[in-house]
């Protein structure tokens, strides 16, 4: 069984280096890690070449094409090389040495087509950042399992979930072959939610392998342009609602997103974050009211 890993770098050499080192220490084979450089101007390509030589596969983009197009490049390259499973991993993460040791037996079982690890905060290494989401029946809304909590030693080794995070996501080959890759509509943020929704509708099952651990430097990329990040998060979540909401769901989600915007806005006002306040409002308005001809069910 061939497992390839794909990560995207954009001017974050140090974080990418740590991610790569952790994957190799966890047992990933040489030449089965694909790094897509998204037009970095910090000499990342040369530094990665000097550090890792031919042990990694590099794809160099001349400009930043957005995260989704870049990660899709890596996925398609992995599939062309014969990958049976693809690990999509953010470059601002690192994994435990036992990461693959705990994942491989579950991959071999064949019960689940999409798997995720437990992801902890890098600056609070025992606190859960993400374990998985469950769908609230009859809606497109979810609730996160053990978010910001500590895991119990009694936690089952496998927890079935409805969504996993694109921060660390293992996907079986046939999922891509049947539903396609990430929808380029999103550019960045919400693309994995859309992907999981399509996979779920196609009948695939998801699980979190709770003994497989990863740590995430939260917002390492987002912090470089907080207003744009806020705009994309708000707009893209609403685009997801627009794509898949049916009947009364659309009104429910319209009200939910409006209330959510009103809930977070006072915090921006109190902290004098006018740019974030404006970005939230613009994201909400554009999400609901700007026509998007590409709002469709993405297929390869």
Per-residue pLDDT, averaged over 149-173, amounts to: 95
Mean pLDDT within 263-290: 84
- Average pLDDT for 172-188: 94
**Among 83-92, 98-107, 138-147, which is the least confidently predicted range?**
138-147
Name the range with the highest mean pLDDT among 79-93, 221-235, 268-282. Answer: 79-93
The answer, yes or no, to whether residue 272 has pLDDT greater than 90, is no
Find the mean pLDDT for residues 22-50. 94
Q: How high does pLDDT run on average in the chain?
A: 91
- Please tell me which residue, 268 or 108, carries the higher pLDDT value: 108
29 secondary structure, DSSP code: P
CA separation (Å) from 79 to 4, 26, 85, 247? 9, 22, 8, 38
Range in 56-60, 194-198, 217-221, 279-283 the model is least confident about: 217-221
- What is the structure's pLDDT at 293? 57
Q: Is the pLDDT of residue 70 over 50?
A: yes
Looking from the CA of 272 toward its CB, the CA atoms found within 13 Å total: 0
Q: Would the pLDDT of 122 be above 70? A: yes
Q: CA-to-CA distance for 260 and 93, rounded, in angstroms?
A: 28
């Amino acid at each position: 069984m061939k497992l390839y890993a794909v990560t995207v770098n954009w001017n974050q050499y140090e974080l990418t280096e740590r991610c790569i080192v952790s994957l190799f220490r966890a047992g990933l084979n040489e030449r089965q890690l694909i790094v897509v450089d998204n037009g970095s101007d910090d000499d990342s390509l040369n530094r990665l070449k000097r550090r890792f030589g031919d042990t990694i596969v590099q794809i160099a983009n001349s400009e930043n094409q957005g995260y989704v197009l870049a990660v899709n490049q890596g996925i398609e390259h992995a599939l062309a090389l014969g990958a049976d499973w693809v690990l999509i991993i953010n470059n601002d993460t690192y994994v435990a040495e036992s990461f693959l040791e705990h994942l491989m037996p579950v991959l071999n079982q064949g019960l689940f087509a999409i798997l995720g690890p437990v992801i902890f905060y890098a600056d609070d290494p025992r606190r859960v950042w993400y374990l998985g989401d469950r769908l609230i029946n009859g809606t497109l809304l979810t609730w996160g399992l053990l978010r910001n909590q500590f895991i119990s030693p009694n936690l089952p080794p496998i927890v079935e979930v409805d969504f996993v995070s694109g921060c660390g996501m293992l996907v079986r080959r046939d999922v891509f072959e049947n539903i396609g890759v990430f929808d380029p509509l999103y550019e960045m943020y919400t693309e994995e939610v859309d992907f999981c929704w399509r996979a779920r509708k196609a009948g695939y099952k998801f699980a979190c392998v709770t003994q497989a651990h990863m740590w995430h430097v939260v917002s390492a990329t987002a912090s470089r342009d907080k207003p744009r990040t806020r705009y994309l998060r708000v707009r893209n979540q609403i685009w997801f609602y627009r794509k898949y909401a049916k009947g009364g769901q659309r009104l429910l989600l319209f009200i939910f997103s409006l209330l959510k915007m009103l809930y977070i806005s006072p915090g921006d006002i109190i902290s004098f974050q006018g740019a974030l306040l404006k970005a939230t409002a613009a994201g909400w308005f554009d999400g609901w009211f700007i026509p998007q001809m590409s709002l469709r069910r993405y297929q390869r």
